Structure 1
């Protein structure tokens, strides 16, 4: 009977909201699991970032004093030994601080999605809030094996710089890359199953997306402003 019910493809933004809600639930647990392995490098990141920016400011100041032509400035910075050493140190520390978190998130997320999408509800909590569920080509629930294949295929959607995810905007089926590879679909169910667009995205979901966007923009502006301030101070100290 379930297979006979018309299934409407879920919209891209509905899927995005659902995924981000699930990620917000998984991330704190992943951070708690990973913290013992990432705490030392994470605590070293601020000082190493500041050191790199100060070294860059000093290198630019040296180039100005040496009257290095602007077209050659980039090459001079790339071949600056102190700047290269500081950047390598920061890169190593950044990797040491992030890989435990990424691994913990990947493992927990895999268990979470496979268990939820192959369950009787056919959806994660985030998907259920949007009235979504994941089905096989016949409209039935996924087996654990297919749910695992879907999750593993999702790594390719990330590896394509999210082009695989953006494929879910293509009508009429709205299948992401990992949907196609695992022969699965994300569909609308319940009262929101009208049409095949994101027009039914509730106000709270739009607010959530807006908050995520504002948060990302705020962090970006803060990071750029802080970096410029550190470099400006380094330049002033070197030149004056």
Structure 2
């Protein structure tokens, strides 16, 4: 009788390993959703730009009108909030943002449900992002999970988000390191013990890239707002 092959020892996945894997998967799914909604996003971006300029022009006009009457900073704030032109401009911006952002986000969410459930219930027991980092999703007995539990685990992830990410941070708590949605679904995210918790160089670079991209986008938005404000005041002079 042949001997049973040795089973790989496993350990709970580290928090950064889990995040890096999730962000890899979501980056791909968001890219697909953005490409699929490309025309809507381009049109929406133009609407957002127009609506934002409308807010800035309305703000600049209200400030100029009030300053001519010797208004205080409190008067400026009250006048800006009470100005029907400003409320209309804010409503237009809100509508433009919703029409631009919600469709790709909804599509990405639907793709994510199918993606995570199918891959985590497959023989891989992992999405491509998790597999790249040597992670697997198992039940409390270390066994492969079914499609229903995998889908339930993904949907339970909403609980981790609506708790202001406290549900995700539970994955930092030893010894089980289960996020809230893992506890709800009765699952664990494991890694091969011989991998260790240290991220490979490429995964560290991926996380650094996300930080750099976040800083760059924030700086771009601030500069764009400053440029719009400058254009509005120049138009009034």
* Shorter-chain TM-score above 0.5: yes
Match of 2:35 in 1: 32
Unaligned 5+ runs, structure 1: none
Alignment partner of 1:93 is 2:96: yes
- What secondary structure sits across from 2:194 in the alignment? helix
Check whether the contact 2:34–2:41 (CA below 8 A) recurs between aligned residues.
Answer: no
Give the 5 Å matches for 1:65-214: 65-189=68-192, 191-192=194-195, 194=196, 198=197, 200-214=198-212
The answer for unaligned runs of 5 or more in structure 2 is: none
SS of residue paired to 1:191: coil
TM-score, normalised via structure 1 length = 0.89
Segments of 4+ in structure 1 off by > 4 A?
36-39
Greater relative contact order structure (CA < 8 Å, 6+ sep): 1
CA contact (8 A) 2:30 2:105 kept: no
For each residue in 1:119-178, what CA deviation from the matched residue of structure 2 results, as whole angstroms up to 9, or x when unmatched?
011000100111111111111111101001001001122222322222222222221111
What secondary structure sits across from 2:108 in the alignment? helix
Q: Distance in 1 between matches of 2:77 and 2:115?
A: 46
- After superposition, the C-alpha distances for 1:173-222 in whole angstroms (9 at most, x for unaligned) are 22111111111111112631x3xxx4x11111111101110011011011
Q: Tell me if structure 1 keeps the 8 A contact 2:11–2:193.
A: no
TM-superposition CA deviations, 1:53-80 (whole Å, max 9, x none) = 2222222233322322223432221111
Aligned with 2:37: secondary structure? helix
- Secondary structure of 2:143's counterpart equals coil
TM-score of the two chains, using structure 2 as the length reference = 0.90
CA distance in 1, matches of 2:84, 2:36: 37
SS of match in other structure, 1:8: strand
The whole-number CA distance in structure 2 between the counterparts of 1:139 and 1:56 is 60
Change (3 A) 1:173 1:65: farther
Task: Confirm or deny: 8 A CA contact 2:62 2:80 kept in the other structure.
Answer: yes
Rounded Cα–Cα distance in structure 2 between residues aligned with 1:33 and 1:22: 17
Give the whole-Å Cα distance in 1 for the aligned partners of 2:216 and 2:153.
Answer: 34
1:41, CA displacement in angstroms?
2.8
Are 2:51 and 1:53 aligned?
no
Q: How many pairs were matched up?
A: 234
Instruction: Give the equivalent residue in structure 1 for 2:224.
Output: 226
Rounded to whole Å, the distance in 1 between the matches of 2:57 and 2:117 is 46
The alpha-carbon distance between structure 1 residues 174 and 66, as it changes in their structure 2 partners (threshold 3 A), is farther
Alpha-carbon RMSD? 2.1
Distance 1:121 1:145 in 2: 16
CA 1:38–1:225 in 2, change beyond 3 Å: closer, same or farther? closer
Q: Give the 3 Å change call, closer, same or farther, for CA 67–51 of structure 1 in structure 2.
A: same
- Are the aligned partners of 2:9 and 2:193 in contact in 1 as well (CA < 8 Å)? no
